[in-house]
Structure 1
Amino acid sequence: MIATEVFEPIDHDSVVEAVVEQIESMIVDGVLKDGARLPSERDLAEALGVSRPKLREALQVLEDRDLVTVRHGDGTYIAELTGRAMSPAMLALYARHGEAFFDYLEYRREQEAFATRLAAERATRTDRERLSQIRAELERSWAEEDADASLDADFRLHSAVADASHNTTLIHMMASVYDLTRRGIFYNRDLLKSMDGAGRKLLDQHLEIIDSILAADPGRGEQAARAHIDFVEESVRMGLEQQRREQRAQQRMKSVA
């Protein structure tokens, strides 16, 4: 649930309009993201410094604009606004045609290099603290061989870099792209980690991306992001080729049996 601290008390002639404007701005800026649950009506009204009837009016306006979804008995949520980059049918098609993965990587290489450059230029103190926390989690999960925690930190790192770019279009577009990654359509992390040393290299690359931003070095950041995606592409190609060789070897063995 979103913390009440992110909201500011309202001091505007039109209370309802001011509440709507604040929440809309937070959605545009990526503070309130798809699916985020807002605080309870009582807590949110208190945080904004408005009456509950006025808050209800504002939430109704936002709901009419399809920006929030009210689930009676559960709460109010930010609507799914960015949507998914592809329909379920298209995702299934891509999954059956693995070569599309490399188009996906090509796109990510350019966008993540751009995001990391901007993040190195624009990251605030809070952004840097967030990245430092993720850095510690990446190292801890590696040391403890916690695959789930490592994967979660991986996803959160890339989202944090996009957020630190402070480019709202980039933040929302990359959220849709990372949705594909989270669902495993274009990213076989197990394949990468099965290759000798790949897991350690992925960790080092993630740490380098973070360190370049903490050092406020845009050129280093862009280079680190490109090197990371280049490594993923090369490793996946090698892994797929090893799989094909093994498949052919098994077929030959069966043919002479």
Structure 2
Amino acid sequence: MPVTDEAIEKIKAMIVSGELGPGARLPREADLAERLGLSRNSLREAVKALSLIRVLDVRQGDGTYVTSLDPHLLLDAMTFVVDFHRDDTVLEFFEVRRILEPAATAMAALTMTDEEIDGLRGVLAELDPEPDVEALVANDLEFHRRVAVGSGNTVLCSLIEGLSGPTTRARIWRGLTQEGAVARTIEQHTAICDAIAARQPDVARSWATVHVAGVEEWLRSALGTAGD
């Protein structure tokens, strides 16, 4: 194992064991290196790597701290990678959304409060009967964000939010080119919201699957046509 990787593993073990909890300050570099049997250089490289993925927070003149380890914070690294996706991988993002979002929607049907459901209906009510594509996509993103938050699972919510960006252009493309896309989106969002409000997780899951899979299948067909 490379020395830097070994250093990362040793620091990670301290965090996982609870010896270093969220917000804890790491010992002085010289003391920690001696304790872990590492060179100060390899420890420094490990700290740099862990700070890049938001596990550690290096504060100049103050010290190095474990971050809050909040899932949303830790998954920022995944979002950074996702932002560099190629257009030919966008279908793969939709495939992952098709797996995750129905599960989150089913959970939301059981965990969303009445106030949160009212907020979800409010998002639907904000949309004009004949919105432009940009307004529709913005509304679509907010609708899905609220459902994800409503699942009550912060890790799942962060994953879904991280996958939203790479699919935005495809959603706009669909809205511009597919006949009936706007009406279909509004209809399916309403059905999802109704199922959540009725506390019917299986129905909510089914509608979410239909909704995401519909965009995915349209894109698959469109890309196939473009490649001919």
Report the Cα distance in structure 2 between the residues aligned to 1:198 and 1:180, rounded to whole angstroms. 19
Are 1:162 and 2:139 an aligned pair?
A: no
Are 1:204 and 2:204 an aligned pair?
A: no
- Residue identity in the other structure for 1:190: W
Report the Cα distance in structure 2 between the residues aligned to 1:192 and 1:84, rounded to whole angstroms. 30
* Superposed CA offset, 1:117-148 (max 9, x none): 0111111012111111011123x2xx242333
Task: Name the residue aligned to 1:213.
Answer: 196
Task: Name the residue aligned to 2:20.
Answer: none
Report the Cα distance in structure 2 between the residues aligned to 1:161 and 1:226, rounded to whole angstroms. 14
* Superposed CA offset, 1:149-190 (max 9, x none): 2221110111100111112221222222224445x4xx3422
Structure 1: where are the runs of 5+ without partners? 1-19, 21-60, 68-78, 246-257
Contact 2:79–2:162 (8 Å) recurs in 1: no
Task: Name the residue aligned to 1:83.
Answer: 76
Are 1:108 and 2:97 an aligned pair?
A: yes
Are 1:95 and 2:86 an aligned pair?
A: yes
Contact 1:115–1:161 (8 Å) recurs in 2: yes
Structure 2: where are the runs of 5+ without partners? 1-22, 24-61
Contact 2:103–2:205 (8 Å) recurs in 1: yes
- Runs of 4+ aligned residues of structure 1 deviating over 6 Å after TM superposition are none
Contact 2:123–2:143 (8 Å) recurs in 1: yes
Report the Cα distance in structure 1 between the residues aligned to 2:90 and 2:210, rounded to whole angstroms. 17
Distance change >3 Å, CA 214–CA 85, structure 1 → 2: same
Report the Cα distance in structure 1 between the residues aligned to 2:199 and 2:176, rounded to whole angstroms. 30
* Structure 1 residue corresponding to 2:174, chosen from 191, 203, 218: 191
Residue 231 of structure 1: CA displacement? 0.7
Report the Cα distance in structure 2 between the residues aligned to 1:202 and 1:162, rounded to whole angstroms. 17
Distance change >3 Å, CA 179–CA 190, structure 1 → 2: closer
Are 1:226 and 2:209 an aligned pair?
A: yes
**Aligned 1:1-257 pairs, distance under 5 A:** 64-67=65-68, 81-85=74-78, 87=80, 91-92=83-84, 94-96=85-87, 98=88, 100-138=89-127, 140=128, 143-182=129-168, 184=169, 187-245=170-228
What SS does the aligned partner of 1:85 have?
helix
Report the Cα distance in structure 1 between the residues aligned to 2:119 and 2:192, rounded to whole angstroms. 14
Distance change >3 Å, CA 188–CA 136, structure 1 → 2: closer
Distance change >3 Å, CA 80–CA 123, structure 1 → 2: closer
Distance change >3 Å, CA 193–CA 224, structure 1 → 2: farther
Contact 1:193–1:199 (8 Å) recurs in 2: no
* Superposed CA offset, 1:49-90 (max 9, x none): xxxxxxxxxxxx9x95545xxxxxxxxxxx9553142545x7
Contact 1:191–1:239 (8 Å) recurs in 2: no
Percentage of matched positions with identical amino acids? 26
TM-score normalised per structure 2: 0.62
TM-score normalised per structure 1: 0.56
RMSD of the alignment, in Å?
A: 2.8
Distance change >3 Å, CA 125–CA 188, structure 1 → 2: closer
